[in-house]
Structure 1
């Protein structure tokens, strides 16, 4: 099993849910952090969701915070496991004010290959 350490940077340019990471086929991902920064002069409400591809793409809210101006926070309080096809989405109440980075490890699933 090969472990691949990666990151995915994002800017939330809309108030829609934005897919910031999708776990590839034949992989399991261990999300270690979703670090977000509020570059706005006021507080911004931020939500994170996962989509479970093995459960008819059921969507679950996994974080919901009100991020103060000019601050940084981590939306993951423990390791989050995503399976092949699962997606991670982030949404902000105002556009162009939240930037972030997802840090994760992808593990090759030899049984699926």
Structure 2
């Protein structure tokens, strides 16, 4: 088992739902922080969802209006994504939300058995 510390940039260039982080089936992600920036002069609604592929379901984990010219933390506790899970975001306005996801990837591909 290996642990790699990583980050993934976010740039929501449409108002459609965008997959921003996908966990490989041979790994688990421990998401420490999801930080977004609204650099525009108006608030932007942001919805964050997790698709749990083992349950074939998508769950909302955050809905908030990100104030104008503000950086906001989306989660306040650790978020675990299991193999195959997908983190998704939907912005109310295109080309205004960007940010970063900081996480640890626990890779089980080298395990025996």
TM-score using structure 2 length: 0.94
Aligned length: 112
Q: Deviations over 1:44-103 (max 9, x none)?
A: 1111000001012x0000011111110001111100000110000011100000001111
1:3 aligns with 2:24: no
Runs of 4+ more than 4 Å apart: 110-113
1:81 aligns with 2:80: yes
The alignment partner of 2:76 has SS state of coil
RMSD: 1.4
Aligned to 1:102: 101
Q: Deviations over 1:10-39 (max 9, x none)?
A: 210000111000001210000111100001
The alignment partner of 2:41 has SS state of coil
The alignment partner of 2:54 has SS state of helix
1:8 deviation in Å? 0.5
Q: Point out the more displaced range, 103-112 or 12-21.
A: 103-112
Structure 2 unaligned runs (5+)?
none
Return the alpha-carbon distance in structure 1 between the equivalents of residues 62 and 25 of structure 2: 25
Change (3 A) 1:40 1:54: same
Change (3 A) 1:112 1:11: farther
Aligned to 2:45: 45
